[in-house]
Amino acid sequence: MESKDTNHRNEYALITGATSGIGYELARLFAADSINLILVARSAERLQEVCDELKEQFSIECTPISKNLFEKNAAYEIYEAVKDMGVTVSYLVNDAGQGEWGYFLETDLDRDLDIVQLNISSLISLTKYFGREMAARNEGHILQLGSEAGKTPAPLLSVYSATKAFVISFSVALANELKCKGVTVTVLLPGPTDTDFFHKAKQNKTKAYLESNLDTPQRVALDGYRALMKGESKIISGVKTKVHVLMADILGDTVSASYMHKQMEPSEKKKTTHKRPAHAASLKERENIESLTGKSEGDIRHN
């Protein structure tokens, strides 16, 4: 496949969570516009597969950096690795994120803190490291992955929804701070999307997953990519998601939390439209985790 735009030939985008889901599709969009890639994920083998695929299809440079963003020093190590490469990151995409389903008092504390580290602390760190360089150049673009869940309290997914509320607030505030520095910050709010998120979060038996019409990662990624390139501060992906966010604003936190609690409960339907990701890269992610853990839900332990 030929690139669509050669004006970006010497630019680089750094994308976390790049081997599956929305992150993978964002990588394809950047590559299609001849933007070179630095891809971050945990699996060195899978990262290399994705880089080889994108280099062959789009004739761009693609560098894999295998780091675990659940670890405190990972963001700094990524920054140092990019400095050693001697390249300039014009686009930063903080896509990596996870959740954990269950009543808060019953979920594992270390897992909750891992999620805060991944969804908030690593995102802050990467934004700080690369954002400072962008501001010094008066040029740069940052895309943060928020969520529809960040607009309403979500019982049984409480830590995740709280981290995404942070991401939304932080990103919009930062967009305001940096608008005079030549740096744009865009936060993308997807609704339920056909990725491996639900299985990692052990949320794959809930109404929110089994009874929803899931958005495709391709559609969500395209919405986010277009908004990023236009310099928009926030984009809600999909009409259904826009309606959900509007209703949450109108109904208020207490009523919205009650609705979300019902959506997070196990589904009683025997026939459902999906039980595993249909998105190929996300299905491969699930299969890789299953081969390592022997389990059809959950993630790899990090501690």
pLDDT digits (tens, 9 = 90+) for 93-137: 999 999 999 999 999 999 999 999 999 999 999 999 999 999 999
Cβ-based burial of 279 (10 A; exposed 0-12, middle 13-18, buried ≥19): buried
Q: What is the DSSP letter of 268?
A: -
Q: So what's the pLDDT on residue 301? A: 80
The domain ranges of the chain are: 12-293
Q: So what's the pLDDT on residue 3? A: 44
- Half-sphere exposure of 295 toward its Cβ, with a 13 Å CA cutoff? 11
Element (H, E) at 265: none
pTM for the predicted model, two decimal places? 0.94
> Measured on CA atoms in the order 17, 21, 26, 28, is the torsion positive or negative?
positive
Catalytic residue list:
160
Report angle CA 152, 158, 160 to the nearest 5 degrees.
90
**Cα 13 to Cα 8, 87, 92, 97, 152, distances in angstroms:** 10, 10, 6, 18, 31
Q: So what's the pLDDT on residue 1? A: 40
* Alpha helices, DSSP H, located in 140-252: 158-178, 197-200, 207-210, 217-230, 239-251
Q: So what's the pLDDT on residue 5? A: 52
Q: So what's the pLDDT on residue 275? A: 81
Residues 44, 69 contacting (CB under 8 angstroms): no
CATH 3.40.50.720 is right for the domain spanning 12-293: yes
Q: So what's the pLDDT on residue 56? A: 97
**Measured distance CA(233)–CA(225) in Å, rounded:** 12
Residues 6+ apart with CB under 8 A from 114: 70, 98, 302, 303
> Measured on CA atoms in the order 219, 222, 224, 230, is the torsion positive or negative?
negative
Task: Tell me which residues of the chain have a pLDDT lower than 50.
Answer: 1-3
**Measured distance CA(160)–CA(69) in Å, rounded:** 16
**Measured distance CA(152)–CA(253) in Å, rounded:** 6
Q: Among 215, 225, 163, 157, which residue's Cα sits nearest to residue 188?
A: 225
